[in-house]
Amino acid sequence: MATPQPERPLTRAELVAWARDLYDDLDFTSVRRWLSEHPGRKAGGYLPVYAPRELLHAAGFLPVGIHGGGDRLEIIRGDAFYQSYICHLPRSVIELAQSGRLDMLSAVLFPSTCDVIRNLSGMWKLLYPDVYVRYIDVPQVPDPAAAAHFWEGELRRLLHDLSEVSGHQPTDDDLRASIAVYNEMREVLRTLYRARQERPWDVPTEELYLLMRAGEVIPPEEFLDRARAYLAAVEAEPHRQRDNSRVVITGAFCEQPPLGLIKSIERAGCYIVDDDFLLGNRFLTREVSLDGDPLRALAEAFVHNELRTSVLYEGDARGKKRLMQQRVSEARADGIIFAAPSFCDPALLDQPMLRSGAEQAGIPCIAFKYSENSGQFQQFREQAGTFSDSIKLWGGA
Amino acid sequence: MSCVVGIDLGSTTTKAIVLDEDGAVLGRGITNSRSNYDLAAAVARTEGFINARFGLIQQRLEATATAEPVDRLRRAFVMEQLLHQLRRLEQLLLDEAAKVTPAGLRAPFAEAIREICRRITAEEEGRFRQPPILRSDFFRDAAGSAFMRIAEEVADPAGVTFDRLVGAYDKCIIRAENEPLDLDFRDHIGNALRRLGHPAGLADAVEYAASKDLTPAATVGTGYGRARLPFAKEMIRSEILCHGLGAHAMFPGTRTVLDIGGQDTKAIQVDAQGIVTSFQMNDRCAAGCGRYLGYIADEMNLGLHELGPLAEQSRRCVKINSTCTVFAGAELRERLSLGEKREDILAGLHRAIVIRAMSLLARSGGVSDQFTFTGGVAKNPAAVRAIRELVQENYGERQLNISPDSIYTGALGAALFARRMVA
Amino acid sequence: MSVALKDRSMLLQKEMIASHFARLEKAPENHEPVVYTFVPGNLVELIRSFGALPVLPEINALQSGMRKLSGDYIAEAERLGHSEDVCAYVKCDIGMLRSGNIGPSGTKLPKPDLLLLSYTGCYTFMKWFELLREEYDCPAVFFHVPYQGDGVLEPEHREYMLRQLREQVIPALERATGRAYDEEALRERLALAAEAEDHLVAVLQSAKHKPSPIDGYFGTVYYVGPIFSAFRGTPEGVEYYRALHEEIDERRAAGLGPVTPEGPLNEQRYRLVVEGPPSWTHFRDFWKMFADEGAVVVASTYTKVGGTYDFGFRHNPNDPLGTLADYCSGCYTNLNLPSRIDMLVRYIREYEADGFVINSVKSCNSFSAGQLMILREVEKRTGIPGAFIESDLVDPRYFSTANIKNRLESYFQMLQARREGQHA
């Protein structure tokens, strides 16, 4: 899919503005436009965290990430579905759906992130009986053979179902092509993350984040163009280095923080050098093999993955204790910000284990809760600012 | 005549409704709630009967005179009630003065008390001679602010200090309020007539009203959160049902009722007979209740009644994200520091409180035609505007009913249940 | 009715529980292996066939709640850094552990030789045992029971479970107990389980009678105790359920209602179905609110979390591992939302209920997320109004008596008014 090549490379500002427009757009205009370009095109949504987008892509869908309405959506109908002690994300997702903003989706995938998303899959079946709904139980068992076998079966079943919806039965070559595109996407994201780690002043997290959010509503091929353009723009327009602390932010892998929160943290003197924002887009840490059966390869890649996260069972008894130390050392960070959405079981239940491991390793930590529609950032600014100062004054890990 | 009574023990006010044998409202009574529930109910009921009797006087004079003499009589009556309560309060305060230490302060303390009460009486007499102004009818409110003000003038920092006076007042007002009543219609109406110089034509109507037997055939009580309501179990109805029935009686086309009270919010669906078919309550979280506006008023140093009109001046509604009361103040301050206008922020806050109500309505089954809005917040023009807009946006055209007597909705429902018992 | 028969099942249960905890206390010195697991998807027959003793932390937590100990345990866990937003069962368990690990019967609980993480219908279970693994530094085996997303147990999912049992769970039990897998022993226990299940289902279905001889929620929570914990697949378990069955038959024949803490409820004004777990900290108060209004619960969904037997499932000794997979998959918490709605509607119809109540607990997203939709759907399908109240499992801070009483009283008055309206 070719995007029109501009006469000159896009500037950083232009790319960020383009990304911001897509981020702000709660009507999914870009998706609707894509659908209108050819008859018979379909769009398939997925909730956080991990969904096998390659399958959607191969079956002819545009994969669309559903990340709620953030702080830009007034919740009226959504609150009628959820009590006050459940996180905010499903409310805004229901609000988007009930207000017709998701009516362009022919399929929605619900990964096994937590019980709230799990139950939402059942609600969706009742609310939208004409939409294909599948709950994706990712394999959790540490035994790779059993897990891979199970997962391959799930992927096969999913692909079969998606093909029926789209009317396009992909060949193995189609699958490999889709896997290749997403391999590239993951690689470019790793490059961006590495660049940010090396020169965080040149890759502000606000910009990186907007770019990634844009990537959730456009074809991966277009994202690749833009991401590479951004990398080039970063080279062409470097920023001044500041004396900021380097922090890892963890816990925001599902319900996303408002952009203002990310900005507040950066402005308070922190460079975010690693995070788990939109973790699903780089869930597989290594390239998926294009040899042999593509679904088997995809299944194996998931099962043999190195990523450790709250939504997957940790088979290693020492795993949780060590995890933050590993992440901090890989990112050459000074400290950790545990940022969890209110009422988020995965993030909040993991936190004590992760934090005690970090503190035992002498890593400075702070923690706070947010929701996707947190309205005022004063307290986050203060906390992050104090944290950053204290790290600089008294040293890091 | 065979009448029935409904009493609603609310968290802030206790209301009573007296219905005649045809089910028409004969009288309404209201008083501030207090720790002695029996007394609060008794006071509200007595006020209701007094109001009923004035209604009878009115009726009697209908053919012959205008409303004016009855209103003056009512004012005179209220004046007599107030003076009576003031004398009682004075007595309690003098009892306190007699116990003050050091003993040397006792005489000056008593004198200060007498002086304050003299001045309050003089002020009230003066006020009585002027045209009536809008003010709270509750003794506690009238006496309290006057006492504080005059005590400041009368206090002596070296002797009978302001704090001592206020301390004595606080102790005694509670006692005064929680004492059994002896306020009867006949007790004060005579004095009131005398005060007015026995106007012609009134005596006969007064006698007619005073001699009417208003012993109720049944009394039903309702109220929330009371471990024990001062009624027999079979004479209690849930306030949800009373509220639904009351709203339906006021507006028979009602199918959805929203009550935003000070402490809780209720969304109620009723059928064609006014019987509740579904309800949802928010009674744990201050957001979406009147309390939320109370916090905002405090934060902005405004009176509660000023919030709505100020919000109405907004041209641009600021979107407020956190509906949580705990953060409301913080968000408000942040917005102000960012240069947002007060009226715009207020408009946003009003919208936020209404959005919570909309969720509750959605949970209870939506907003059907007609839609009746009750509770203190229903008097707030900005809240009403926000309700109208949001209902329109989400449900389409709905007739919105608001009654100036909506505070009596629960008591009315209770009275109607009482009526069913004797029917 | 003889006193001996009436009290017999209660006495049996008391004995069973007491001796179980006594045995647990002695387990370390007697070298009896101990396996911790969860109620949904509990593989008690398998565990016991290895000569190991099961411990169910959920039951410890709920017992702590009933004995008013949970508040302190939760406070302790929160002091240790656990969030106020997360499941109170987990916090109660961590708090209990850190306070000496004295179980609800007053005896010390043994450390686990194995954590059998039956991942059945609840994400939090995963975190719970990850936490316990850190506390106890012991082996854990993960048994993944796939969620019934489409409302059925898919053949591939069944295969996956069988494979895990053969390749992971059984070897882990062998390592933890030092014994070999004994299929014959397992089959025997499965046969006993099926027998107990027959009796239990008879007891559950006795509530179809008017008046109901049981309370299908408050009372039944006691009845399912043995079968959800350590006693399914044991001879004592069968004896208990047989005795219970007889007693309930007698009550039904005599037209008697259930025994509540306030006395027998023979005059039953309202028949209700309940969805959601009870509040354990305020169990009696909560029950009283129903009993005072003459409301008897005729069926509930919570009493199916440890297995759904009243729609036909029985443990099948002829397919020992397959039947374990079938059992796990059918536990209530593993059913999808549409199936849960179907179950509620079915209960309302089959048990001729006048109303239904949803008790939404803050701790449990597995139950609570989506209950507002369940409320509306069930109302739509049955035409019967539902009550919606909010509390918690074992966190006493989240039970507001005035709040809940108000809602329930209003609900009962609403039902009464509807009844009168229908006869008018």
- DSSP states of B64-132 as a string? T--SHHHHHHHHHHHHHHHHHHHHHHHHHHHHHHTT-SSGGGHHHHHHHHHHHHHHHHHHHHHHHHSPP
Facing B330 at nearest CB: one of A71, A79, A376: A376
Strands (E), B214-309: 216-223, 256-260, 265-270, 276-282
Record the tokens describing residue C408, joined without a space: 């329930």
Query: What is the CATH code for A41-170?
Result: 3.40.50.11890
Q: B356 contacts in A (CB within 8 Å)?
A: 79
Q: C390 contacts in B (CB within 8 Å)?
A: 284
Contact B413, B22 (CB under 8 A): no
Query: Which chain C residue is nearest to residue A109, measuring alpha carbons?
Result: C149
- Identify the CA nearest to C101 among candidates C111, C115, C91, C90: C111
C233 and C153 inside one domain: no
Contact A295, A173 (CB under 8 A): no
CA distance B275 to chain C (A): 7
- C92 three-class SS: helix
CATH code (residue C102): 3.40.50.11890
- What's the domain range around C356? 185-423
User: Touching check for B306 and chain C: CB below 8 Å?
Assistant: no
Cis peptide before B370 (omega within 30 of 0): yes
Q: C403 contacts in B (CB within 8 Å)?
A: 225, 281, 283-284
Domain ranges of chain A: 41-170, 242-308+318-397
Please identify every stretch of chain B with a pLDDT value under 50, giving residue numbers as ranges. Answer: none
Q: What is the pLDDT of residue B195?
A: 86
Q: What is the pLDDT of residue B56?
A: 87
Q: How far apart are CA B176 and CA B170, in angstroms?
A: 10
User: Touching check for B90 and chain C: CB below 8 Å?
Assistant: no
Q: What is the pLDDT of residue A397?
A: 38
Whether the pLDDT of residue C6 is over 60: the answer is no
User: Touching check for A382 and chain B: CB below 8 Å?
Assistant: no
Facing A76 at nearest CB: one of B330, B335, B358: B358
- When scoring A24, A26, A73, A74 by the number of chain B Cβ atoms within 10 A, the one with the most, hence best to mutate, is A74
Facing A135 at nearest CB: one of C147, C156, C168: C147
Q: What is the pLDDT of residues C193-208, one digit of tens each?
A: 999 999 999 999 999 9
Q: How far apart are CA B414 and CA B245, in angstroms?
A: 8
Q: How many CB contacts within 8 angstroms connect chain B with chain C? A: 50
Query: Which chain B residue is nearest to residue C420, measuring alpha carbons?
Result: B275
* Cβ separation C156–A154 shorter than 8 A: yes
* Cβ separation C87–A146 shorter than 8 A: no
Q: What is the pLDDT of residue C105?
A: 83
CA distance A74 to chain C (A): 20
User: Touching check for A76 and chain B: CB below 8 Å?
Assistant: yes
Interface of B with A in 60-89 (CB under 8 A): none
User: Touching check for C390 and chain B: CB below 8 Å?
Assistant: yes
* Cβ separation B224–C410 shorter than 8 A: no
As its CATH architecture, domain A242-308+318-397 has 3-Layer(aba) Sandwich (3.40)
Q: What is the pLDDT of residue A5?
A: 62
Cis peptide before A49 (omega within 30 of 0): yes
Q: Cα dist. B32→B22, B135, B169 in Å? A: 29, 14, 17
* Cβ separation B279–C414 shorter than 8 A: yes
CATH code (residue C322): 3.40.50.11900
Q: How far apart are CA C103 and CA A95, in angstroms?
A: 45
C261 and C175 inside one domain: no
Half-sphere exposure of B420 (CA within 13 A, CB side): 17
Record the tokens describing residue C348, joined without a space: 């309302």
Q: B238 contacts in C (CB within 8 Å)?
A: 406, 409-410, 413
Contact A32, A254 (CB under 8 A): no
Contact C177, C33 (CB under 8 A): yes
DSSP element (H, E) containing C143: strand C140-144
* Cβ separation C337–A119 shorter than 8 A: yes
C35 and C124 inside one domain: yes
Contact A50, A67 (CB under 8 A): no
User: Touching check for A92 and chain B: CB below 8 Å?
Assistant: no
Q: A78 contacts in B (CB within 8 Å)?
A: 359
DSSP element (H, E) containing A42: strand A42-46
* Cβ separation A85–C362 shorter than 8 A: yes
DSSP element (H, E) containing A62: strand A61-65
C164 and C197 inside one domain: no
CA distance A84 to chain B (A): 9
Q: What is the pLDDT of residue A388?
A: 93
Strand B3-9, strand B13-19: pairing: antiparallel
Record the tokens describing residue C337, joined without a space: 């939302």
Q: A321 contacts in C (CB within 8 Å)?
A: 134
- Identify the CA nearest to A153 among candidates A298, A266, A269: A298
Q: How far apart are CA C69 and CA C354, in angstroms?
A: 36
Q: What is the pLDDT of residue B48?
A: 92
Record the tokens describing residue C367, joined without a space: 């139950």
Record the tokens describing residue B250, joined without a space: 């006021």
Whether complex ipTM tops 0.85: yes
Facing C82 at nearest CB: one of A112, A317, A352: A352
The set of chains that have 3 or more CB pairs under 8 A with A is: B, C
CA distance A50 to chain B (A): 29
CA distance B284 to chain A (A): 10
For the beta sheet containing A335-341, the strands, ordered from the edge strand earlier in sequence to the opposite edge, are A270-274, A245-250, A335-341, A365-370
Q: A76 contacts in B (CB within 8 Å)?
A: 355, 358-359, 362, 390, 394
Whether the pLDDT of residue C5 is over 50: the answer is no
Q: How far apart are CA B49 and CA B17, in angstroms?
A: 9
CA distance C402 to chain B (A): 5
CA distance C131 to chain A (A): 7
C44 and C193 inside one domain: no
- Identify the CA nearest to C165 among candidates C328, C298, C394: C328
Q: How many CB contacts within 8 angstroms connect chain A with chain C? A: 154
* Cβ separation B240–C410 shorter than 8 A: yes
Q: B326 contacts in C (CB within 8 Å)?
A: none
Please identify every stretch of chain A with a pLDDT value under 70, giving residue numbers as ranges. Answer: 1-6, 395-397
User: Touching check for B336 and chain A: CB below 8 Å?
Assistant: no
Q: C379 contacts in B (CB within 8 Å)?
A: 278
- When scoring A72, A75, A76 by the number of chain B Cβ atoms within 10 A, the one with the most, hence best to mutate, is A76
Q: Which amino acid is at A344?
A: C
C216 and C170 inside one domain: no
Interface of B with C in 334-373 (CB under 8 A): 363, 365
C146 and C238 inside one domain: no
Facing C164 at nearest CB: one of A123, A141, A153: A141
C343 and C372 inside one domain: yes
Strand C53-55, strand C34-36: pairing: parallel
* Cβ separation A348–C83 shorter than 8 A: yes
Contact A31, A104 (CB under 8 A): yes
Taking only Cα atoms into account, the Rg of chain B, rounded to an integer number of angstroms, comes to: 24
C158 and C192 inside one domain: no
CA distance A81 to chain C (A): 5
Task: Please give the mean pLDDT across all residues of chain C.
Answer: 94
Q: What is the pLDDT of residue C3?
A: 43
Query: Which chain C residue is nearest to residue A320, measuring alpha carbons?
Result: C130
Mean pLDDT of C357-383: 96
Provide the domain count of chain C.
2
CA distance B2 to chain A (A): 45
Query: Which chain C residue is nearest to residue B226, measuring alpha carbons?
Result: C402
Q: What is the pLDDT of residue B376?
A: 81
Last residue of a domain, one of C165, C182, C199: C182
Higher-pLDDT residue of B135 and C403 is C403
C218 and C169 inside one domain: no
CA distance C366 to chain A (A): 5
Please check whether the two domains, A41-170 and A242-308+318-397, share a CATH topology.
Answer: yes
* Cβ separation A135–C149 shorter than 8 A: yes
Contact C358, C350 (CB under 8 A): no
C257 and C214 inside one domain: yes
CA distance A349 to chain C (A): 6
* Cβ separation C370–A120 shorter than 8 A: yes
Last residue of a domain, one of C125, C159, C182: C182
DSSP element (H, E) containing B239: helix B239-250
For the beta sheet containing B25-32, the strands, ordered from the edge strand earlier in sequence to the opposite edge, are B25-32, B13-19, B3-9, B216-223
> DSSP secondary structure string, A202-227?
TS-HHHHHHHHHHTTSS-HHHHHHHH
Q: Cα dist. B327→A376, A379, B306 in Å? A: 9, 11, 22
Q: CA angle, A239 as apex, A233 and A245 as ends, to 5°?
A: 125
Helix and strand counts by DSSP (H, E) for chain A? 14, 8
